[in-house]
Structure 1
Amino acid sequence: MTNKQNLHTKFSQSANEDLLALSVDEIIEDFTKLQGLVNTHKTEQAPRLNVLEQYFLSDNTGILKGERRKDKEKADHRAVHNFAKYISQFIVGYLTGNPISFQHDDERTQEAIHELNKINDGDAVNSDLALNLSIYGRAYEIVFRDEDNQDRFIALDPKNTFVVYNHDIDKKTIAGVRYYDSIDAEGIKTNHVDLYTATHIHSFVIREGKLNNVESIEHHYNDVPIVEYLNNKFKQGDFENVLSLIDLYDSAESDTANYMTDTNDAMLAVIGNVEMDGEDARSFKEANMIHVKPEMNANGSEGNADAKYIYKQYDVNGSEAYKTRLQNDIHKFTNTPDMTDESFSGTQSGEAMKYKLFGLEQVRATKERLFKKGLIKRYKLLFNNLNILGTKTHNYKEIDIAFTPNLPKSMKDNVEIVNQLAGTVSEKTRLGLLDFIDDPDAELERIQQEEDEQLERSDNREYAFSQQDETVEE
């Protein structure tokens, strides 16, 4: 955010804009152009990403910054509620809690995919990317070859990574940028900027504001090896649109806590004609009690006296209704359920859960489509290199990528549905519908093997009986 914008205003209008250049040559040949892109990302886009990360890490800036109480002696509690983490973890678990499936009809290509995912712990990388998408609205991944000559892919930090597009109507990625700082042996701060193009990795080193070193290394991925994943068209995170509601909830709970503390420290008012000096007041406070003895009136009767605390009256019902409304709005506008809601939890089938998660299902459809686009780019890059190194040509376009929502499942309902399909669909299709069977082909082979073994045992028994009969007859 620029010019000390706070969460009561929108982020900078350029916080989610694409960074553009006429061509990759323009960036390589004119370092000031590359510096300008990096500075734009630092000043216009990274601040938003930092704020979103702070909310995910339970460092809610709306409640933790600034002055909230005019009177310094009054309580100033700052209660932080981590709705951001709840929202992101729920959505990420729903999307990638079950590993993403990659299938290819070609057996050797399928083996290559399996090996690449195994080496890179693909399920973990996919989960990291999904989490970055949920927090920042964007995620970045780099494909590279490590010192062991293995093709690798890992997630990059969106706070110091971006891609550059050209000005075409159908904008294309022409470069990827990763920048970071270090302190050299002389204690001088050094800026590093790595520029990834379709053919080379250009590394720039800036010391004391001057370009100190440039190194270029060729790669063989035949495309920009940094992949950008998008959460939605506007690159918006999953809880970004409810930051103000989270702030209001934090404020409401903090005010409640402040009220409770202030009540304990409320001022005692003694009303009436009472003989009491400062020393008496201090003694009563230390003893946690007070003895009010009114003076005698002129006619010999006691005067009136009373003692009571002065504090602001608290509307319990109104305050709790207000906080409940805020909490409901947060869940409603992020399409996430409140798991503490008794009407949501309980013994419900997976199908019933789907209806309660209908809003999230609509969001998931968009998320999956954009996630698949990035995954296809990943395997395109990996296969480009494998096709150069090996004799087998792998076709990335034929990879079938499938997401399975992570929902509570009822095995009984699952089996009943499969049994009802007997005679309607093939046995392989029916087995594929069972949640606990990962490979229908392998299961069919095991079934056939068991039938053959059972038939063989039956034949052996019949043969044994026939031999016994022949022996008896003899």
Structure 2
Amino acid sequence: MYETIRISDISIADDPKFITRIIDDYKISNIPRLDKLDRYYNGQHDILNRPMIDPAKPNNKIVHPFPAYITNTVNGYFMGKPVTYSSDNPSYIQAIQGVLGTNDESYINAQHSKSASVKGLSAELIYMNEANEIKFNLIDVRELVLIYSDSIDPELIGAIRYYELKDYMSDKTTLNVELYTADEIITYSEGKSGLVETGRKPHYFKEVPVIVYYNNAELSGDWERLIPLIDAYDMAVSDHSNMLEYFSDCYLVLSGLTAEPEDIAAMKENRVMLLGDNGKAEFLTKTADVQTLETYKVRLERDIHKFAQVPDIQAEGFTSDLSGIAINYKLQALEQLSVTKERLFKRALQKRIRLITNMLNLQGASYEYADVIMQFERNLPVNVAEKIDSVKNLYGIVSMSTLLQQLPFVEDVQAELDRIAADGSISDDYNDIGG
């Protein structure tokens, strides 16, 4: 679990010695865990460090990238389709969309979803660039210490971002620190006697300009608690491979025959074996209990998918001709996981919109961030024929706009309505009904 700092007043953190201490503590408590999670997502499992006990025996180290599969599946389902935004104020939503568009918001959201799935949380910094544009981008949580109040309902009152810069001429590495509060940014640099304050400047966002995207209340990754199961699966398959490789080198047993090395060489070359009356030749083999091992592997794999709440979408049960209800049923556990993610993700996106709105209002506007409505949509496989039949059955019951929204190939409903009106495709009977 990711550990945070809780203090009564952010002014306590305005001390280079305090900052140095909590950075050092953070490195001890969080960095080993975060590095391990990154390592597993990238396929560097602990099985790769298994030592060779007997050089005469095989030592296979087979990695199964369950972490990448789980994260990529969850990310694709939850954030495969961009979040949409709407508002009754056209100028406001246009301003918001302008800021989101210049920051490639849908890509950044997908990266947050991926990072939170791996590490338990993700974070971004919102700032003004040299061209006076509102920008936001990801921060590596391995270089971020979050500071919360010690109240019953903790709130983010500060954030420390630290990073090291290397001078390649002197080969020296210098620690640099940025402390973000609700009002200003305080910078520090490492000197001979420790951190030294190098500057202060206001940021005008009216809140700590760091936005945190939580994966769950425990701040844990989607497959973090399953690492023992994943290790067991890697070990089982690696040992199985070792066993098959070891026992594939069989010994030839010659009974009732005395053979010299040159005789054996001649038999191998001529592929002829001369045996006496009581002579016998057979291979010495050992029968492996393959079925028991296969049963064990199947159970491990099933448990990994079960407890990750992520189905094996390549399994035999997932076929292209499933109905929408059948697909939803098979994805029910994944949907429950995504519901939790959506609630926490929405809070982070609301803060992003709020900070953007604060800056727009500072520049002369008078918007209210609560006027922006955001909509999440799951990236589900769609049975187009089934959708069309459903729309046909609803024809004349609901509005044409609502009908068109159900069709996955209609991207702009209003543009489609305009084309229908121009073609005269809507019947008078439908209009009489109230469409």
| Structures share fold, TM-score greater than 0.5 | yes
**Structure 2: distance between partners of 1:379 and 1:210:** 38
Amino acid at match of 2:65: N
The aligned length equals 427
Three-state SS of the structure 1 residue aligned to 2:30 is: helix
Name which of 234, 238, 241 aligns with 1:254: 238
Q: Give, in angstroms, the shift of residue 451 of structure 1.
A: 3.7
Q: Give, in angstroms, the shift of residue 100 of structure 1.
A: 0.8
**Structure 2: distance between partners of 1:404 and 1:360:** 14
Query: What do residues 388-433 of structure 1 show as CA deviations (whole Å, max 9, x unaligned)?
Result: 01x2212111211111111111222222222322333233223323
Query: What do residues 61-94 of structure 1 show as CA deviations (whole Å, max 9, x unaligned)?
Result: 2x11232x53121111100111111111111000
Q: Which has the larger radius of gyration?
A: 1
Three-state SS of the structure 1 residue aligned to 2:125 is: strand
Residue 332 of structure 1 pairs with residue 306 of structure 2: yes
Q: Give, in angstroms, the shift of residue 212 of structure 1.
A: 4.2
Give yes or no for contact 1:23–1:166 (8 Å, CA) kept in 2: yes
Match of 2:374 in 1: 401
Amino acid at match of 1:438: E
Name which of 321, 324, 342 aligns with 1:350: 324
Q: 1:346 to 1:412 in 2, by over 3 A?
A: closer
**Structure 2: distance between partners of 1:142 and 1:451:** 50
Residue 372 of structure 1 pairs with residue 346 of structure 2: yes
**Structure 2: distance between partners of 1:387 and 1:110:** 14
Residue 411 of structure 1 pairs with residue 384 of structure 2: yes
Three-state SS of the structure 2 residue aligned to 1:84 is: helix
Residue 36 of structure 1 pairs with residue 28 of structure 2: no
Give yes or no for contact 2:267–2:273 (8 Å, CA) kept in 1: no
Q: Give, in angstroms, the shift of residue 306 of structure 1.
A: 4.3
Q: 1:197-216, aligned counterparts within 5 Å?
A: 197-207=181-191, 210-216=194-200
Name which of 43, 61, 71 aligns with 1:58: 43
Query: What do residues 207-242 of structure 1 show as CA deviations (whole Å, max 9, x unaligned)?
Result: 466224522222111111111110111111111121
Q: 1:285 to 1:108 in 2, by over 3 A?
A: farther
Give yes or no for contact 1:350–1:407 (8 Å, CA) kept in 2: no
Amino acid at match of 1:58: G
Match of 1:238 in 2: 222
> What do you get for the CA RMSD once the two structures are aligned?
2.5
Identity across aligned pairs (percent)? 31
**Structure 2: distance between partners of 1:288 and 1:218:** 89
The two structures have a TM-score, normalised by structure 1, of 0.84
Q: 1:74 to 1:116 in 2, by over 3 A?
A: same
Amino acid at match of 2:5: L
Q: Give, in angstroms, the shift of residue 55 of structure 1.
A: 1.1
Query: What do residues 341-365 of structure 1 show as CA deviations (whole Å, max 9, x unaligned)?
Result: 1112231133321111011111111
Amino acid at match of 1:182: L
Q: Give, in angstroms, the shift of residue 289 of structure 1.
A: 6.6
Q: 1:64-463, aligned counterparts within 5 Å?
A: 64-67=48-51, 69-184=52-167, 185-207=169-191, 210-266=194-250, 268=251, 270=253, 272-277=255-260, 283=265, 291=273, 293=275, 302-303=277-278, 305-310=280-285, 312-389=286-363, 391-451=364-424
Query: What do residues 142-181 of structure 1 show as CA deviations (whole Å, max 9, x unaligned)?
Result: 1011122211111111222232101000001011121111
**Structure 2: distance between partners of 1:407 and 1:107:** 30
Give yes or no for contact 2:4–2:145 (8 Å, CA) kept in 1: no
Amino acid at match of 1:335: Q
Match of 2:431 in 1: none
Structure 1, unmatched stretches of 5+, are: 1-14, 295-301, 456-474
Query: What do residues 263-315 of structure 1 show as CA deviations (whole Å, max 9, x unaligned)?
Result: 2334x26364542456666x479759784756xxxxxxx555544335x4311
Q: Give, in angstroms, the shift of residue 366 of structure 1.
A: 0.7
Three-state SS of the structure 2 residue aligned to 1:243 is: helix
The two structures have a TM-score, normalised by structure 2, of 0.91
Of 357-366 and 39-48, deviating more is 39-48
Amino acid at match of 2:84: S
User: Which structure has the higher relative contact order (CA within 8 Å, separation 6+)?
Assistant: 2
Structure 2, unmatched stretches of 5+, are: 429-435
**Structure 2: distance between partners of 1:37 and 1:288:** 76
Match of 2:433 in 1: none
Give yes or no for contact 2:121–2:215 (8 Å, CA) kept in 1: yes
